[in-house]
Amino acid sequence: MEFSDHIKTANVEDVVLRQPLHPPSRGTLCITGHHLLFSEREEGSSQQVLLLLRNIDAIEKSVENLLGYPGFLSNAAHGDRMSGSSGTITIKCKDLRVLQLDIPGMEQCLNISRSIETLSCLDNVSEMYPFFYRPTDLSLQDQWGLSTPEKHYTQMKELHERWRLSSVNKSYSVCPSYPPAVIVPNCIDDETLKKVAKFRQGGRFPVLCYYHRKNGMVIMRSSQPLTGANRKRCKEDELLLQAVIEDSEKGFIIDTRSSQQVQQARMTGGGFESKSFYNCWKRLHRQMERGKALQESLIKLVEACSDESHNVDRWLSKLENSKWLSHVQTALSTAGLLAECVERDGHSALVHGYEGTDCSLLICTLAQLIMDPFCRTLEGFLALLEREWVQAGHPFQQRCAHSAYSHARFQQESPVFLLLLDCVWQLWRQFPLALGFSEALLLRLANEVYASDYGTFLCNNDQDRCALGVKDRTHCLFRALLRPAERDYYSNPLYEPTELAIWPSVHPQSLQLWRGFFLRWTQLAHHLEAVQEEIRSMVIEWARVAQR
């Protein structure tokens, strides 16, 4: 391993760590290939901070050459070393924590910061920590993941009459971002699928993502059709969609772009399903922000949250200006619309935008949470994420390489998954008894997606994961979250299953800033966490008494 090449100074003593909600503490700093370790050296305390370097989004250093240490450290004992120079490193993490390290010695400070800069942005996936993480209570022989498309299909007996499992993508040649097996209408053969794939961006032909048991309606998802400027058509694509709905029925296409955007997309080879060729399908347009715009939105919001000196007016104006809550509102209301099509009006629906790897997944996931009681259980939710995000090919590696603090401006970052977690949190706020998992799970996932010990969110799709042996050489987060202790911790103590759809309210008054995440390192969030503990202990107490 060449990690050591990047580490000039591995250990520094007498470092002062400042972190939110804690008094400053002095101790030893240690840099390894994947971690930053700080151990407190105060009498009677053995506090340790272990930070995954991958979690570091940005690092700022300021070096002071002339003066001695600040008052806190001005003991004569340390005063004379390195002729009084010192430096401060500010570490901004992807979990929105901001740490400060006062390091004695300018050179050491520069060495440390250089190591962190390099090691936190390694882009070679197989060098990342999940390939080295070996907890004692998990074995690499265990099954990776909760399920597979094959198992999922086998379990869904209701599907078998009209739907089949196709392995046309066995070698990822038809669609590089799809899993090897997908569910398609029975009457559509693999040859047809191959033709349809050529007509859809990135080969993402329409596949089944959800079957609504109550009325047999389905949600399909895909990417945009490549109709182009001269309105090309594809008979096989039309056939496939026709096969989704029975003869006389009507289906809805929910396009996550505005009708203007759709027209523009034709100029660059994309397009939409024209009424004349798909006459049983009605298109509905809901413009959803994605990509860079979403990333900018997150950056603005985090910036607004990190300054406590604003007055209320400025805060509200920055909150508005970030547009984050508008994106939450749009996502929830589009998902509501989709669920309405399926659950209330009894129609099947196809969802797509451009590539079909971001907003389409977002609203399909939310719609399933709204409609399907099983998806609201802890296992069900994790399985849903595995199916709709990991297997369905959300490009995690591109989208989550950096978060709100990074100075590097890559083209591909976009917090779509974070937006999903926020929307799920809003659902939980409105239906606090209906979800089987807790806010703590959403917070944990928000961490893991950016920096993880586990391999679950590595790579951009199944093909990459296979190529790198992710499933053989890393552990799976979802399985780890279902170990007994974790399952306990991430369960909602108030959970009361309901068969009904949970329709979210999307009034601005009903949506709130996700304080638990965006203000996580403040005193406020601290108090609110205490409340969740209080609730849990009340329920445990009740269960204990009730059992006697």
Partner 1 sequence: MEHIRLPKVENVRLLDRVSPRKSRVGTLYLTATHSIFVESEAGGRSETWVLHSLVSSVDKQAANASGCPLLIRCKNFQILHFSIPREQDCHDVYLSMQRLSQAECYEELYCFSYKPSIDEEERRREWAFVDLKSDYRRMGLPNSLWKLSPVNQHYKVSDTYPDELFVPESATHPILVGSSKFRSRGRFPALSYYSKENHAAICRSSQPLSGFSARCLEDEQMLEATLKSNPRSDFMYVVDTRPKLNAIANRAAGKGYENEDNYSNIKFQFMGIENIHVMRNSQQKMLEVCELRSPSMSDFLEGLESSGWLKHIKAVLDTGVFIAKAVAEGVSVLVHCSDGWDRTAQVCSVACVLLDPYYRTLKGLMVLIEKDWVSFGHKFTQRCNHLVRDSKEVSPIIDQFLECVWQLMEQFPCAFEYNERLLITVHNHIYSCQFGNFIGNNQRERKELRVHERTHSLWSYLWTNRAEFINPLYRQNHSQSQGLLRPSTAPYCFKFWRGLYNHFDCGMHPRQSVEDYLRVIREETQQLEEQLDSHKQKIAQLEQEQGWSDACAEAIFDKSPTVWVFGKNLALANTPQDYTGSFLTSSPCTPKAPGSPLILPPQDSNQTVDSNLSNSSDQESGIADLSCRSPLSEDSTRDPDSDEAAYSAA
Interface with partner 1 in residues 405-434 (CB under 8 A) = 429-434
**Stretch 310-329 residues interacting with partner 1 (CB under 8 A):** 310-317, 319-320, 323, 325-326, 328-329
512 binds partner 1 (CB under 8 A): yes
Provide, rounded to whole angstroms, the least separation between the CB of residue 460 and partner 1.
31
Q: Which is nearer to partner 1, 146 or 370 (CB)?
A: 370
Per rule CB under 8 A, is residue 52 in the interface with partner 1? no
By CB under 8 A, residue 337 contacts partner 1: yes
| Residue 226 C-alpha from the chain's centroid | 28
Nearer to partner 1, 150 or 345 (CB): 345
Q: Is 16 in the site for partner 1 (CB under 8 A)?
A: no
Question: Mind giving me the DSSP string for 78-92?
Answer: HHTGGGG-EEEEEEE
If the CB atoms of residues 186 and 263 are measured against partner 1, the closer one turns out to be 263
Phi-psi sector, 452: left (phi>0), alpha (psi -120 to 50), beta: beta
Which residue's CB is nearer to partner 1, number 64 or number 296?
296
* Residue closest to 440 by CA, chosen among 503, 386, 487: 487
> Shortest distance, CB of residue 530 to partner 1, whole angstroms?
7
Q: Establish if 157 lies at the interface with partner 1 (CB under 8 A).
A: no
Query: Which residues from 275-294 bind partner 1, rule CB under 8 A?
Result: 275-276, 282-287
Among 47, 74, 259, 264, binds partner 1 (CB under 8 A): 259
Nearest approach, Cβ of 56 to partner 1 (angstroms)? 25
Among 308, 411, 484, 485, binds partner 1 (CB under 8 A): 308
- Shortest distance (Å) from residue 266 CB to partner 1: 11
Sites for partner 1 among residues 339-368 (CB under 8 A): 340-341, 344-345
Cα(471)–Cα(479) distance, integer angstroms: 12
Which residue in 64, 38, 61, 56 sits closest to 116, CA to CA? 56
Cα 198 from Cα 306, distance rounded (Å): 47
Under the criterion CB under 8 A, does residue 248 sit at the interface with partner 1?
A: no
Q: With respect to partner 1, which residue has the nearer C-beta, 191 or 320? A: 320
Contact region for partner 1 (CB under 8 A) — 179-187, 199-207, 408-416, 509-517? 509-517
Neighbours of 13 (CB within 10 A): 15
Nearer to partner 1, 135 or 269 (CB): 269
Closer of 116 and 294 to partner 1 (Cβ): 294
In 3D, which of 393, 367, 359 has the Cα closest to residue 224? Answer: 359
* Contact flag: residue 232 with partner 1 (CB under 8 A): no
Taking CB under 8 A as the rule, does residue 98 contact partner 1? no
Query: Quick one: which of 129, 178, 205, 272 contacts partner 1 (CB under 8 A)?
Result: 272
230 sits near partner 1 (criterion: CB under 8 A)? no
Strands 182-185 and 163-166: antiparallel
Q: Does 515 bind partner 1 (CB under 8 A)?
A: yes
Size of the site for partner 1 (CB under 8 A): 82
Q: Is 305 among the residues that bind partner 1 (CB under 8 A)?
A: yes
Rule CB under 8 A: choose which of 45, 263, 264, 268 binds partner 1: 263
Close Cβ partners of 299 (under 8 Å, ≥ 6 residues apart): 404
Helices 190-199 and 235-244, axial angle in degrees (round to 10)? 110
Using the 8-state DSSP alphabet, how is residue 143 labeled? P
305-to-127, 140, 185, 311, 395 alpha-carbon distances in Å: 34, 41, 48, 12, 28
CA distance 15 to 438: 37
Helix (H) or strand (E) holding 52: strand 48-52
Token duo for residue 497: 């299953």
Handedness of CA 389, 476, 117, 405 (dihedral sign): positive
Please give the order of strands across the beta sheet that includes 98-104. 48-52, 35-40, 25-31, 11-18, 98-104, 86-93, 56-64
Binding of partner 1 at residue 229 (CB under 8 A)?
no
Please, which residue, 274 or 412, has the CB nearer to partner 1? 274
Q: What string of H, E and C letters represents the secondary structure of 220-236?
A: EECCCECCCCCCCCCHH
Comparing CB distances to partner 1, the nearer of 186 and 258 is 258
Residues 516-545 that bind partner 1 (CB under 8 A): 519, 522-524, 527-528, 530-531, 534-535, 538-539, 541-542, 545
Pick the closer one to partner 1 by CB: 377 or 474.
Answer: 377
Chain centroid to CA 366: how far? 13
* Residue in 504, 514, 516, 520 binding partner 1, rule: CB under 8 A: 504
496 binding partner 1? (CB under 8 A): yes
Q: Could you tell me which stretch among 120-128, 148-156, 274-282, 416-424 binds partner 1 (CB under 8 A)?
A: 274-282
Burial class (CB in 10 A: 0-12, 13-18, 19+), 33: middle
> Cβ distance 449 to 457 under 8 Å?
yes
